[in-house]
Chains A and B, each alone.
Chain A
Amino acid sequence: GNSVTQMEGPVTLSEEAFLTINCTYTATGYPSLFWYVQYPGEGLQLLLKATKADDKGSNKGFEATYRKETTSFHLEKGSVQVSDSAVYFCALSDPVTGNQFYFGTGTSLTVIP
């Protein structure tokens, strides 16, 4: 079946530190992969996505590369800011299962000045 496993939090970093949030997946087909972000008090919004192997999604300084060989889609940012404090969700959409979305449990990030 389909599932997403992401790094457990919470994660606390100092401003300008390097961020990695791990995400691995299992899927029956060739899924699209997504990172969503939920800022405090707000709804979920798409951060970035990749639709095929070796694609790199990027937005707001965040990047993630679709690695089929390791079934991973790790989120990275070279220098985090206080404003990046949020909960990050990894997700996949699998065409074999009608493009249903599967979400990880979320990783809470707090960036301190």
Chain B
Amino acid sequence: GAGVSQSPSNKVTEKGKDVELRCDPISGHTALYWYRQRLGQGLEFLIYFQGNSAPDKSGLPSDRFSAERTGESVSTLTIQRTQQEDSAVYLCASSRQGNTEAFFGQGTRLTVV
């Protein structure tokens, strides 16, 4: 596609439920990133993929968070047993190999009630 696409754009879920957030990067982009942005705050790094591998998972907040990427394309971020503190905008970005810019999706706004 023309840009990074994330779905859903908005998700309201009950505390304790599992959610899956999807990211479709720009075709041909080998690097993919997930960030979390709480209301009024900066970007919190979650995980980075190079191809289908995740060399850096250091930002995942707890074992309730996991992510995978397949076919060097789509990535899914899964949050199990959601908590209210998980409420945030989850941003995905992708970039080509090399020191090129990262392109961001519009994000998924997750609200845990």
Interface residues of A (CB under 8 A from B): 31-32, 34, 36, 42-46, 49, 51, 87, 89, 91, 93, 95, 97-106
Beta-carbon contact of B31 and A32 below 8 Å: no
Q: What count of chain B residues pass the 8 Å CB interface test?
A: 25
- Given that A89-B42, A89-B43 are known contacts, is A101 also in contact with B95, CB under 8 Å in the complex? yes
User: What are 26 inter-chain pairs, A to B, with CB distance below 8 A?
Assistant: A34-B102, A43-B91, A44-B43, A44-B91, A45-B104, A46-B102, A49-B101, A91-B102, A93-B95, A93-B100, A95-B99, A98-B31, A98-B48, A98-B50, A99-B95, A99-B100, A100-B55, A101-B33, A101-B95, A102-B45, A103-B42, A103-B43, A103-B45, A104-B42, A105-B42, A106-B43
In the assembled complex, how far is the CB of residue B97 from the closest CB belonging to chain A, in whole angstroms?
Answer: 7
B67 cross-chain contacts in A, Cβ below 8 A: none
Asked if B93 is at the interface of the complex by the 8 Å CB criterion, the answer is yes
- Bound state CA distance, A101 and B50, in angstroms? 12
In the assembled complex, how far is the CB of residue B32 from the closest CB belonging to chain A, in whole angstroms?
Answer: 11
Interface residues of B (CB under 8 A from A): 31, 33, 35, 41-43, 45, 48, 50, 55-56, 91, 93, 95, 97-107
Beta-carbon contact of A105 and B98 below 8 Å: no
Give the tally of cross-chain contacts (CB within 8 A). Answer: 65
Beta-carbon contact of B106 and A43 below 8 Å: yes
Which residue of chain A is the closest to B99 with respect to CB atoms?
A32
Beta-carbon contact of B105 and A43 below 8 Å: yes
In the assembled complex, how far is the CB of residue A32 from the closest CB belonging to chain B, in whole angstroms?
Answer: 4
In the assembled complex, how far is the CB of residue B8 from the closest CB belonging to chain A, in whole angstroms?
Answer: 15
Instruction: Point out the residue from B41, B43, B56, B101 that lies within 8 Å of A100, measured CB to CB.
Output: B56
Beta-carbon contact of B99 and A31 below 8 Å: yes
- Bound state CA distance, A87 and B42, in angstroms? 9
Beta-carbon contact of B93 and A106 below 8 Å: no
A32 cross-chain contacts in B, Cβ below 8 A: 99-100
- Bound state CA distance, A43 and B45, in angstroms? 16
B33 cross-chain contacts in A, Cβ below 8 A: 100-101
Beta-carbon contact of A105 and B41 below 8 Å: yes
In the assembled complex, how far is the CB of residue B23 from the closest CB belonging to chain A, in whole angstroms?
Answer: 13
